[in-house]
A and B are shown apart, each in its own frame.
Chain A
Amino acid sequence: MPILTRLFIKTSFLYLIAALFIGVALVGRSVWQLPAWLAGLSPVYFHLLMVGWVTQLIFGVAYWMLPKYTQKQPHGFDGVWWATFWLLNLGVLMRVVAEPFRIASPAPLWGWLLAASAVMQWLAGIGFVFNAWLRVKER
């Protein structure tokens, strides 16, 4: 299993665990005295599962298993793959931080962080599709 696949998959499992913790916290608000800003984590919970875990797991397995691009460049363009990994994860982490802080504080910084997170996740998706599209072929 190539290193980037291991990174994608292990990171995705960390997000799965994080999402399950947040799932506990969201429901725990009705049982324990927890801070109000936790409510801002509701979209984060769902997107950690679907983007941080499922989509990232797919990226990692696709890097590994799709037909080779060429003998010399089996995975396609590795620089773009690495950019995809960092953009996706920085983008997701920025959303995790900015969504609740945006509710807790009116500072425009959090809004801009959310906007930057959107751009980074978008670029990560484009990078993935660029590489993977080329490898979806007969052999």
Chain B
Amino acid sequence: MPKLSRRYVHMAFFNLIWGLTFGGLLLFHKGVPLTPLMWRLLPLHIELMLVGWTVQFVLGIGFWIFPRFWRSRGNETPARRAFWLLNIGVWTAGLAGTLNAPAEILLIGRISELGAGLLFVLYVWQRIKPPGTGAWGKKRV
């Protein structure tokens, strides 16, 4: 498994643990009330589980298993930048919702997630290809 996939997948696990902890606290509180403040965790729970865990895990595994160009995965820079944008976005948007920060902060988080999505898709597009072809369908690389 390449280094960047390991980074994505480990970070997905990290977010799963936190998202699950916040979701678990919420569910516990729904059954056996602890403090009404608990509901503040909902935006962070949603952001971490939906994007930080599920989306990030799929991207990390995709980077690993999609067809390669002979031995190379091409120019990995966009996928590397997407990793940072995704995680900065998830935590910014999640914390903004939970801490009741101004809407602009939440927006920055979501735009960062969008940037990550665009960069990753732009990168991975050329790897969804028939065997034996190079980037953008060119024969043999």
Task: Choose one: B5, B16, B24; the contact of A118 (CB below 8 Å).
Answer: B24
Task: Choose one: A50, A111, A126; the contact of B32 (CB below 8 Å).
Answer: A111
Query: Is A98 touching B31 in the complex (CB atoms < 8 A)?
Result: yes
Instruction: Identify whether the interface residues of B are mostly helix, strand, loop, or mixed.
Output: helix
* B residues near A50, Cβ cutoff 8 Å: 49-50, 54
B-contact bits for A100-128, CB 8 A (1 contact / 0 none)? 00100000001111110111011001101
Query: Is A136 touching B1 in the complex (CB atoms < 8 A)?
Result: yes
Least Cβ–Cβ distance between A25 and chain B, in angstroms = 21
* A residues near B9, Cβ cutoff 8 Å: 132, 136
Query: Is A102 touching B31 in the complex (CB atoms < 8 A)?
Result: yes
A38 within 8 A of B: no
Contact (A137, B27) CB under 8 Å given A50-B49, A50-B54, A132-B13? no
Task: Choose one: A95, A102, A115, A133; the contact of B10 (CB below 8 Å).
Answer: A133
* A residues near B26, Cβ cutoff 8 Å: 118
Contact (A136, B31) CB under 8 Å given A125-B20, A129-B17? no
Q: Which of B46-92 contact A (CB under 8 A)?
A: 49-50, 53-54, 57
* B residues near A117, Cβ cutoff 8 Å: 27, 31
Q: How many residues of B contact A (CB 8 A)?
A: 26
Query: Is A111 touching B31 in the complex (CB atoms < 8 A)?
Result: yes
Tier of interface size on chain A: 20 to 34
Least Cβ–Cβ distance between B125 and chain A, in angstroms = 23
* B residues near A54, Cβ cutoff 8 Å: 54
* A residues near B10, Cβ cutoff 8 Å: 133, 136
Contact (A137, B20) CB under 8 Å given A54-B54, A95-B27, A102-B31? no
B129 within 8 A of A: no
Least Cβ–Cβ distance between A116 and chain B, in angstroms = 8
A139 within 8 A of B: yes
Least Cβ–Cβ distance between B43 and chain A, in angstroms = 15
| Chain A minimum-CB-distance residue to B33 | A111
Query: Is A136 touching B6 in the complex (CB atoms < 8 A)?
Result: yes
B135 within 8 A of A: no
Interface residues in chain B, defined as those with a beta carbon under 8 Å from any beta carbon in chain A: 1-3, 5-6, 9-10, 13, 16-17, 20-21, 23-28, 30-32, 49-50, 53-54, 57
Interface residues in chain A, defined as those with a beta carbon under 8 Å from any beta carbon in chain B: 50, 54-55, 58, 66-67, 95, 98, 102, 110-115, 117-119, 121-122, 125-126, 128-129, 132-133, 136-139
A-B CB proximity, top 9 nearest: A114-B31, A118-B27, A111-B31, A122-B24, A115-B31, A125-B20, A118-B28, A118-B24, A115-B28
